């Protein structure tokens, strides 16, 4: 999987956001806010292919967390990023 680099993170009014404009006539603009942890993982993993194990390793290297917690949190991060269309396969 990869971070979809066609979508850019912007820092606006103290928030890290991704603004996604849908194609078509209807105004379907979506704004996704990333907290500091989500943004850090996003920045660590963008520009390369990665697996869930890579996300777990990034969490273990970055945060003081045990592997079991990192694995649960990594799976949730991947799920949420996919839900928001910020990760592509």
The pTM of this model reads: 0.85
- The reported pLDDT for the residue numbered 48 is 96
- pLDDT digit string (tens) for 44-76? 999 999 999 999 999 999 999 999 999 999 999
Instruction: Set out the domains of the chain in order of their start, with CATH numbers.
Output: 2-88 (1.10.10)
Q: E-strand spans in the chain?
A: 2-3, 9-12, 15-20, 30-34, 87-88
Quote the tokens at residue 31. 């704004």
> 67-83 vs 36-45: helix axis angle to the nearest 10?
80
Q: Assess contact for 32 and 39: CB atoms under 8 A.
A: no
């Amino acid at each position: 999987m990869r971070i979809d680099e066609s979508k850019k993170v912007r820092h606006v009014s103290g928030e890290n956001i991704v603004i996604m404009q849908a194609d078509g006539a209807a105004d379907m603009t979506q704004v996704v806010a990333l907290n500091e942890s989500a943004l850090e993982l996003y920045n660590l993993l963008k520009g390369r292919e990665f697996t869930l194990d890579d996300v777990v390793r990034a969490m273990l290297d970055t945060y003081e967390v045990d592997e079991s917690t990192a694995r649960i949190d990594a799976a949730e991060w991947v799920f949420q990023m996919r839900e928001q269309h910020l990760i592509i396969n």
